[in-house]
Amino acid sequence: ETGVTQTPRHLVMGMTNKKSLKCEQHLGHNAMYWYKQSAKKPLELMFVYNFKEQTENNSVPSRFSPECPNSSHLFLHLHTLQPEDSALYLCASTEVRGLNTEAFFGQGTRLTVV
Amino acid sequence: QKEVEQDPGPLSVPEGAIVSLNCTYSNSAFQYFMWYRQYSRKGPELLMYTYSSGNKEDGRFTAQVDKSSKYISLFIRDSQPSDSATYLCAMSRSNDYKLSFGAGTTVTVRA
């Protein structure tokens, strides 16, 4: 158990559905991330929140909408997704200090868009 | 050119062998280097964390960083079937909380 919990673990949704992924961290960290992991490709950083402020949006399509209500919770709202959006979505958290620090990951949500 | 290059393998070794994994990178500003292990259907877990050049050892695992060559390595001694996983390298710059990842190398240790 890494201290980062993601729900649901698996999600199948149609292209017209709206769903949300949830992430909660119990580590007292102040930065949270969404990554997309597709087969044989590096993890793609999607969004970063530092102290609840979004500091990074790596040209992610607007059908993905993040929300960070506080430093412990992070959501990814999904709507009108495409089949190519099927992937493992990983949440991570870290403590931003003067020096860098490592990221701790959740178990991921395996998303299938049909 | 990708910022971080990692051979995806797969790599298959017999139990007890030494597993050698590596990544190359292009950004000379990277200062922090990490190796993550990811089991099937799980999220990545931090395995090793090093700062700047040098070696770091933790049990059967040794991480090496050669900044002059922009090359990092992970060695697993006396490999076990439980080491079968995908190994991801990651790195970042100072005062930057964004990580750049390699594609991951899938390792199978045969009993």
Mean pLDDT of B43-51: 91
Q: Output the DSSP codes for A8-73.
A: -SEEEE-TT-EEEEEEEE-S--SEEEEEEE-TTSPPEEEEEEETTEEEEE-S--TTEEEEEEETTE
| pLDDT, tens only, B52-94 | 888 999 999 999 999 999 999 999 999 999 999 999 999 988 7
Selection from A94, A32, A28 nearest residue A66 by Cα: A32
Position B98 scores a pLDDT of 81
| CA–CA dist A112, A12 (Å, integer) | 5
Place of tokens 């979505």: A89
pLDDT at B11 over 90: yes
The pLDDT profile of chain A, 114 residues, written as one tens digit per residue, is: 679 999 999 999 999 899 999 999 999 988 899 999 998 888 999 999 887 677 777 789 999 999 999 989 999 999 999 999 999 999 999 887 655 667 899 999 999 999
On chain B, the residues whose CB falls within 8 A of the CB of A7 are none
Position B94 scores a pLDDT of 77
Position B51 scores a pLDDT of 85
Helix (H) or strand (E) holding B56: strand B54-58
Task: Please check whether residue A110 touches B, CB under 8 A.
Answer: yes
Tell me the residue type at A46. M
C-alpha torsion A102→A103→A104→A105, nearest 10: -150
Instruction: Find residues 21-80 of chain B whose CB sits inside 8 Å of chain A.
Output: 31-32, 34, 36, 41-46, 49, 51
Tokens for B16, please give them: 């007890």
| CA–CA dist A23, A34 (Å, integer) | 9
**Percentage of residues in chain B with pLDDT exceeding 90?**
77
Tokens for A93, please give them: 């958290």
Question: How many alpha carbons lie under 13 Å from residue B27 in its C-beta half-sphere?
Answer: 17
pLDDT at B38 over 60: yes
**Nearest Cβ partner for A107 among B4, B32, B42:** B42
pLDDT at B101 over 70: yes
